[in-house]
Structure 1
């Protein structure tokens, strides 16, 4: 299929998906609010931009992002890369595979989780709004770093789960128990933002790469099933930012209390 045919097919499916949303918005504007649509031509132009942007984005996912994630997973789990000379000498190594052999997989997962989250447009927008609403009490950059490190740690642990083949529910249950305990102790101001941060990370940039990475790992690691083991990385990317943001707030509060205590001690002298 040529790029033009792929674009037209993607545009057709995108139009089919977007029309119901547009129909709801226009219907409420005309029949519920009973008001005319202001700047009709501007709205139509924006609608066309949305269609073109979504179609090109979906093409990019199909042509670049998904293949890139799968290729990286295949290369990082290739026995020739993992075992080097042993593999070239024909020594059987697949029977002795252990989780320590996939160190570079975890490093790559951490790095890609950190980089994609820092570049996530929705997280940038939330960070700016949080800093604006809080009057600077919440740093946009600090929030982005906390969320990004949470996603990175979660994705690395998710790849460890795929490599070892352990059950997903064990990790998720433990993670949410930690989240509940943190919720009881974290500053009230940060709790809603922390929970929202878990949602904004799973958006346009992060999800496609994580899905491709998880499926690629499960397809190339011996004994793993893409259907059973390939999914779940996005769940890790959702829950771990909640933990990291609340942890960031708790550490910040502890450091602030410590500074006040040291300052009070100095004033006493």
Structure 2
């Protein structure tokens, strides 16, 4: 790809980004000037910020197309390659003998990529910092980030297992949300809204592209799978399981605090 081709791609993506962001800007400024009838005190900084948003989104979209999507598909293809799978199987076994357990490296890769991308998710970092501030330090920044990341990692691994075995996705989702409802009844009330929000926070700029590419790549390389039917839906697992993991994190923190308080009371009495 030559320099002119790259410049054309950048300008075309920038034009598409402007088209996408323009309605948002129209609504915000429309309410500000037509309804509230007030000029923002920092209008210059806001306009400058919109400019940086447009540039950043454009470059990010190009990065997805040129790097993250191909990388996810490449890794899925390599990890499900017949030669790679046969190398880890017992002597004398053939492609026909491949079972779900032979895709163990796929599950491990899915877990690690889910954990690492979620830890790096800018929206999760922002939510964790704000939750720490408004809770007066009761919710730890790293505690929340790690609990969400573990939920995403487990969910994506389970989603990859579903693609490999070909199970219907709705049974997994129904069962998962049944556990969410049950856990909601026993989890600390303070954490429940944040836990539900954490499921949406994960489906953002860093996690979604790699997870979607992994699901599509895996469904394209596993025999008998349809990318349209089996490849999509992996993001649903990334949104569901953080709800469970964040509520579990709050429950464990509550138990640990109660245990520490009990030990302190016992020492004072003795």
Greater mean alpha carbon deviation, residues 109-118 or residues 253-262: 253-262
Q: What SS does the corresponding residue of 2:185 show, helix, strand or coil?
A: helix
| Residue 81 of structure 2 corresponds to residue 78 of structure 1 | yes
Q: How far off its partner does 1:231 sit?
A: 0.7
| Residue 33 of structure 2 corresponds to residue 30 of structure 1 | yes
> Aligned in 2, Cα 1:80/1:171: closer, same or farther, shift over 3 Å?
same
| TM-score, with length taken from structure 1 | 0.93
Greater mean alpha carbon deviation, residues 48-57 or residues 255-264: 255-264
Matches within 5 A, 1:124-135: 124-135=125-136
Q: What SS does the corresponding residue of 1:185 show, helix, strand or coil?
A: coil
In structure 2, distance between residues paired with 1:148 and 1:164: 24
Q: How big is the alpha-carbon RMSD for the aligned residues of Structure 1 and Structure 2?
A: 1.9
In structure 1, distance between residues paired with 2:157 and 2:264: 40
8 Å CA contact 2:80, 2:221 repeated in 1? yes
> Any idea what the Cα deviations from partners look like across 1:166-210, whole Å, max 9, x if unmatched?
010111111101110110000001111111111111100000010
Q: How far off its partner does 1:49 sit?
A: 1.3
User: What number of residue pairs does the alignment pair up?
Assistant: 267
8 Å CA contact 2:86, 2:93 repeated in 1? no
| Residue 122 of structure 2 corresponds to residue 121 of structure 1 | yes
In structure 2, distance between residues paired with 1:8 and 1:263: 64
> Aligned in 2, Cα 1:192/1:86: closer, same or farther, shift over 3 Å?
closer
> Any idea what the Cα deviations from partners look like across 1:61-108, whole Å, max 9, x if unmatched?
000000000000000000111112879x9x772222210010000000
> Aligned in 2, Cα 1:85/1:113: closer, same or farther, shift over 3 Å?
closer
* Partner residue in 2 for 1:64: 67
* Partner residue in 2 for 1:234: 235
| Residue 54 of structure 2 corresponds to residue 51 of structure 1 | yes
> Any idea what the Cα deviations from partners look like across 1:7-64, whole Å, max 9, x if unmatched?
1211111111111111112211221112235444433322221111111000000000
> Aligned in 2, Cα 1:266/1:47: closer, same or farther, shift over 3 Å?
closer
> Aligned in 2, Cα 1:258/1:117: closer, same or farther, shift over 3 Å?
same
In structure 2, distance between residues paired with 1:37 and 1:265: 57
Give structure 2 stretches of 5+ with no counterpart: none
> Any idea what the Cα deviations from partners look like across 1:123-167, whole Å, max 9, x if unmatched?
111111111111111111101110010100001000000001001
> Aligned in 2, Cα 1:134/1:43: closer, same or farther, shift over 3 Å?
closer
Greater mean alpha carbon deviation, residues 63-72 or residues 258-267: 258-267
8 Å CA contact 2:118, 2:148 repeated in 1? yes
* Partner residue in 2 for 1:251: 252
Greater mean alpha carbon deviation, residues 10-19 or residues 61-70: 10-19
In structure 1, distance between residues paired with 2:43 and 2:254: 50
> Aligned in 2, Cα 1:35/1:260: closer, same or farther, shift over 3 Å?
closer
Match of 1:15 among 11, 18, 24: 18
Give structure 1 stretches of 5+ with no counterpart: none
In structure 2, distance between residues paired with 1:78 and 1:163: 13
In structure 2, distance between residues paired with 1:50 and 1:140: 25
* Partner residue in 2 for 1:160: 161
| TM-score, with length taken from structure 2 | 0.93
